[in-house]
Amino acid sequence: MSRLLDCLLVAIGGALGSFFRYVLSITLHLEVASTLVVNIFGSFLLGFITIYLNEPEQRWRKLMIGTGFCGGFTTMSTFSLDVTKLPVNLAISYMIATICGGIAVAFSGMIVAVRLNARNSND
């Protein structure tokens, strides 16, 4: 039963992530820019969630938000397709911004979570 519940949590999170990604993309009206924003924000959120929700009783939140929501919200396939639509110089810049920016904000999210966890444990 636990695996079924885990799958359900991931599915709910993924549906919500996909929904919010679509809403953001139609709100921004810029295909490539919205994918970049989504992937950067999702990288930060996943980095944060990975560290902040580290207690065993928070596993369900980590599955729903980290695996589900972030998995549905961010999109490697759209990023890859966007790269093929751009001129070479912009494609290279876009790839560097997405990959390096994503890694940098993931680490930033982890740092924020470590500091919040430290502050919460001192209270």
Enumerate the domain spans of the chain.
2-122
- The yes-or-no verdict on residue 123 having pLDDT over 80 is no
- The yes-or-no verdict on residue 2 having pLDDT over 70 is yes
Return the amino acid letter for 57: E
Reported as a single tens digit per residue, the pLDDT across 24-78 is 888 888 778 889 999 999 999 999 999 999 888 999 999 999 999 999 999 999 9
Q: Please say whether the beta carbons of 78 and 21 come within 8 A.
A: no
- Across 50-62, b (16+ Cβ under 10 Å) vs e yields bbbbeeeeeeeeb
* Binding-site sequence positions for Na(+): 71, 74
Reported as a single tens digit per residue, the pLDDT across 100-114 is 999 999 999 999 999
- The yes-or-no verdict on residue 21 having pLDDT over 90 is yes
* Binding-site sequence positions: 71, 74
* Cβ neighbourhood burial of 84 (10 Å; 0-12, 13-18, 19+): exposed
CA dist 93 and 2 (Å) reads: 44
94 SS3 class? helix
**pTM confidence score:** 0.90
